[in-house]
Amino acid sequence: MADLVIRKGTCHALFAYDVAYAIDLDAAQHSVASASERQTVKQKRRAPTSFEYRPAPLRVTFQADPITLGDYTTSPEVDLVLYDFGAVSVSFEFPLAGPFGGLPALAVALRGNARLFAESFIQVERLVQRLGDSASRPHLSDVHEDYSIFVIEAFAEPVEPAVLWTTCAPTVAQVLRAESRQLAQQEINDATTDHLSFATDDATFIDTDAALLYDREGDDVRAVIELANTQLMELRHLDQQLDTSLDEVYAILTRQRTGGPLRRRAPDVNRMAELQLDGAVLFEQVSNAIKLIGDQFLSRVYSRVSQRFRLEQWDASISRKLATVEGIYSKMVDRASARRGEALEWAIVLLIVFEIVLSFIPAFRH
């Protein structure tokens, strides 16, 4: 199978960004109406299920100058998918045709590619400008996540999917690991053994930095992987935000310890409440962006990509930090309440003392 030839395929180079606290997708669709559509999962091969986005993301298409990497050139269009939790996924498409053995070179060129990153950043900036008021608290985070999805729809000659995890496993592993060197058998096994198939004519390989699909109808699988990559970016962004928030919390507590007895406490408590609420809301939106009930195969795909991306570990880390912020906030509220109660008690004591003093002054006796 050394001369395996791809007849039709596409490589999707993805870049995910956080651009706002939230995006009103309906309003955004009106802002970019000429080049937008709501994305749905097609599920061509499966009966209707309860698989759905909540809410459905918005896909926008812009024109872009083609970028050439080796023997491959991007299409003159770039897709941007907007999610309501303030994220955007940029997708460049490289049409694939030719030797299967040429894919590792493309995978290596894509990994951390500065030209694609710069162009994706420009496209996102352009989009944010057009969103206007539909983007709440717009910004462009320095956290981004890139990923590559190689979709092979057909080979020049009929190929059994099993060939990809047997005879062609070394090449598949090179694609998934973005390596031009021959990999050790242990790496090949780790990258290719745990594959997924829905029918006898398809195969899905998912790894940390890339995925390879041999599938005539892979749009649904690709959409799930793209969402998971965007969620990973958001979780990294939220984790970074919480680290910054905790640093700010410690600074607040330090100011409170060194401040005078008349220092105002309410603004600090309010700021803590904002930090806690923003983190909790974003975490909930990201975690519930997709409903995976009823479609067992796509659930397996999402579970596999979640394992590769270690989403559960990110969830656990963020949950711990949110719990820490919540605990500190609760203690600050309790401490502020205690201080107010103490101040009220002292005020009452002072009033009583004042009344007693007045009673001994003849001019104030009745």
Tell me the backbone φ, ψ of residue 31, rounded to 5 degrees.
-70, -30
Between 253 and 98, the more confident residue is 98
Percent pLDDT > 90 in the chain is 47
Question: Which of 212-221, 233-242, 247-256, 296-305 shows the lowest mean pLDDT across its residues?
Answer: 247-256
pLDDT band at 320 (very low <50, low <70, confident <90, very high): confident
pTM over 0.85: no
Between 150 and 220, the more confident residue is 150
In this prediction, residue 61 carries a pLDDT of 92
Question: Which of 120-124, 177-181, 285-289 shows the lowest mean pLDDT across its residues?
Answer: 285-289
Between 231 and 329, the more confident residue is 231
- Residues 6 or more apart from 167 whose CB is under 8 A from it? 1
| 322-359: b (≥16 Cβ within 10 Å) or e | beebeebbeebeeeeeeeeeeeeeeeeeeeeeeeeeee
In this prediction, residue 120 carries a pLDDT of 95
Interval 320-346 mean pLDDT: 72
Interval 199-205 mean pLDDT: 94
Preceding amide of 55 cis, omega within 30: yes
Q: Quick check: helix, strand or coil at residue 215? A: coil
- Residues 6 or more apart from 89 whose CB is under 8 A from it? 14, 15, 16, 17, 80, 81, 83, 226, 227, 229, 230
In this prediction, residue 168 carries a pLDDT of 94
Interval 278-294 mean pLDDT: 63
Question: Which of 130-139, 196-205, 270-279 shows the lowest mean pLDDT across its residues?
Answer: 270-279
In this prediction, residue 314 carries a pLDDT of 84
In this prediction, residue 315 carries a pLDDT of 83
pLDDT band at 264 (very low <50, low <70, confident <90, very high): very low
Interval 282-297 mean pLDDT: 64
First to last CA, the chain: 112
In this prediction, residue 184 carries a pLDDT of 96
